[in-house]
Structure 1
């Protein structure tokens, strides 16, 4: 456990250069700033499956420091590059520490983790990274005897004990609060307020003191629901947010509001299991509750970026012939005026693939019929489209175009 007071200097990522790692063949750099030289507090990495989203998070997570006896070295337990020339380099913080002066690895050294260079720069003790993989249901870590040894483990393993059990934590901190622990009472209130503000249809969180002590989430209809009875989206949010809050409470024990202190968090598929309405709100919710946390997350849904401003977007585009992935960063940081279709088509590179194959087939026939002035072919395409197109405005436009071909 690493305890810090509120005077700890914030450390954030400002760039990541990657070369020869999995699908990232040539050297590419991700800008993790806001374009004005400041760290971007929100970076969303968008891409289809198998485009390297998780790989990028793991590269960053591997810098989660092992800091002992005044020295620093990164964690390299899991990294297995596929290229003999694989390197991970030029990761910088706002402290302007050149990571090449801190550590350097060849492929062999990545595999056996024996030849790391070492530095005695105590500023790197503040380079603490918390990470959450896609398996974010009920945690296993118990309140009593819980010791966090690896803050990024869930990015690399599905079955881990590093995420605390949310109900165990609630029961433990409530017990300490009842014994007169003012700090525990304050922390309990902070996390309850945070969860109630994001979970739809939940108005309170209570500890049952009659009989077996359990944590109940109270719905707007006064139904009492246990954590493991919540839907997948609820469980996913509760699990990792409670776990991260617990880590912040431990890390900043002297702070009046530990959730507002500096941190770095990596979340893989932050939109996983979330209802579309939650996907739209998740960025603003986390930004409000954790204002000094640098979030670097991956997502599939365009809704994650559509309703938030001041977002650093990274798009991963895969060449299907070479399997090589190119990193693209648009200049825009505000997509609130974009439609979902525009984000999918123009930003994520899906083009016409935002429509079904059947739609594309009949639209192609309809357009060809217009060019060739073939009324019967246009009529056939229109009739098929009318069976699958939802928008009446679209059908009206097609019908109007078709009338120009009607025989006299």
Structure 2
């Protein structure tokens, strides 16, 4: 048993914790309350499964919460209580421990809620303008639903929207669920009352998507200088369906990656993890940074390699059929981007794999995939030049650059 497995093996919902769990929890709290950089006004962040390090409490409240709710999942490294991530090349990283009360639906929104917990750091240097706007949004949206709970409006809405996506709930279904929830809440509750208000709450995260019309045969995008054309330059196919309304025949959906990379650096712990790849050089191939391509790139572009905060990205795509086998043949192609900067135990986790393009069907894109990748290529060219980004771990702005490795 590893040194931190007691956090989950010694606690079961509705039962008394083991003596080992009680002793180790007491030692953990003694250590945390001894560290001046962790304690603020006699409180520390509560690591229970309800507060999830988002809220501060005094010791007696934290003891009660831990006995009642247990520790938050995947907290083997106590980053909110004075520990720094330790990168061990021979260790695949903290295991994804599943214990009673947590499933896939609980983890779907982890990254969103973690980003929402980011707080504006105390520093003599001002965060970038986008970061200040983001922190202001978080401060207003992270209000508690009501005074007798530890749940914030943002965390609850994030979980509900994740559930809507997972179970393909209609807007009417979502609104009905919220209506039932409000029946159990006090009148002064600040929780969003419908789907429209829920979406408005999350818009401040600044992670939009762009719709770009495409030639039906994938010959070209109606994009940039071709934005106002109505016929394809190559095959002559009309951009729009027949009829008075200009309804495009095919639409490409693009989700920009710059904002999402900047949001990662706005969270102190995630920003620190993004720089840990520079410390994981070993004789074994345990991370992409140990590979020949990574090291050759470092030699060729030493100015990029000097700052470990610059981001290396991997790309993947695969087609799938969204409809049943009995329907007309149709396939679409999602394109995913994932940062490779994370250490081995975190790299390639689903929460850090970002959907960036949804290429519509009905047929295989074949050789024209490069045409449809144009918005992503254009953004990667801008990221190669660099964008101002706030690093919450170092309390400073820097020029973040990114490349597709």
Category of TM-score, reference length = shorter chain: under 0.3
Higher relative contact order (CA 8 A, sep 6+): 1
Whose strand proportion is higher, 1 or 2? 1
**TM-score, with structure 2 as normaliser:** 0.23
Instruction: Specify the structure having the higher radius of gyration (Cα).
Output: 1
